[in-house]
Amino acid sequence: MFERKKQQSSFNTREAKKVPMRIGDLAKLAGVGVETVRYYQRIKLLKTPAKPYRGIRNYSRDDLARLQFIRRAQQLGFSLEEIAALLRLSRADCANVQSLARRKLDLVQAKLDDLSRMSKVLEDVLVRCSRRKPHEGCPIIETLSKSRA
* pLDDT one-digit tens code per residue, 23-78: 999 999 999 999 999 999 999 999 999 988 888 899 999 999 999 999 999 999 99
Mean pLDDT of 128-133: 89
Angle, helices 23-30 vs 2-17, to 10°: value is: 130
pLDDT at res. 133: 87
pLDDT of residue 148: 65
Instruction: Give domain 1-88's CATH architecture.
Output: Orthogonal Bundle (1.10)
Please report the pLDDT score of residue 78 as a whole number. Answer: 93
Domains of the chain, by residue range, sit at 1-88, 94-149
What's the N-to-C CA distance of the chain in angstroms?
A: 52
Question: What pLDDT, on a 0 to 100 scale, did the predictor assign at position 73?
Answer: 95
> What digits encode the pLDDT tens for the residues 79-104?
999 999 999 887 788 899 999 999 99
